[in-house]
Every structure is written in structure tokens, then in C-alpha cells.
Amino acid sequence: MALGDCWKQLSWFYYQYLLVTALYMLEPWERTVFNSLLISVAAMAVYTGYVFMPQHIMAILHYFEVVQ
């Protein structure tokens, strides 16, 4: 029963996502293209943060002389 409730909650969140972003008006292939682009941009942002944030944090710490 818990799996059914979890599925119901996820489908409700997906429905809310469709309503808030107005994707319910698009055709299924357009929705797929939009979601693919959104996931790609989010993945690139996470990757960029993972790769470059340590360098920037170390530069800031060196600037404020927290780390020698």
C-alpha cells in the first residue's frame, strides 16, 4: 500500500509541475523536448558547480587569509 501512496504522491507532484510550468498545453513530444533541455541545463549547472566551486572557495579563503 505504501508503494501505491508513493506513486500517487509522485504523480500529484508531476501534475503540479505540469500546471505551474504550463506544460499541459504542449504535445507530448514538445513536453519531452522541454524536459530534456531542462534536465540537461540542470545537469550542466550541477557539474559546473562540482568542478569549479572548490577552486573559487579556495581563492576566497586565500584572499581572506583563512588558509595559507
Over the stretch 11-62, which tens digit does the pLDDT of each residue have?
999 999 999 999 999 999 999 999 999 999 999 999 999 999 999 999 999 9
67 near 58, Cβ under 8 Å?
A: yes
Q: Check: CB of residue 18 under 8 Å from CB of residue 10.
A: no
Range of the domain at 11: 1-64
Q: What is the pLDDT confidence band of residue 68, given thresholds at 50, 70 and 90? A: confident
Q: What is the separation of C-alpha 13 from the centre of its chain, rounded to a whole number of angstroms?
A: 15
Query: Domain total for the chain?
Result: 1
Q: Is the pTM of this model over 0.75?
A: no
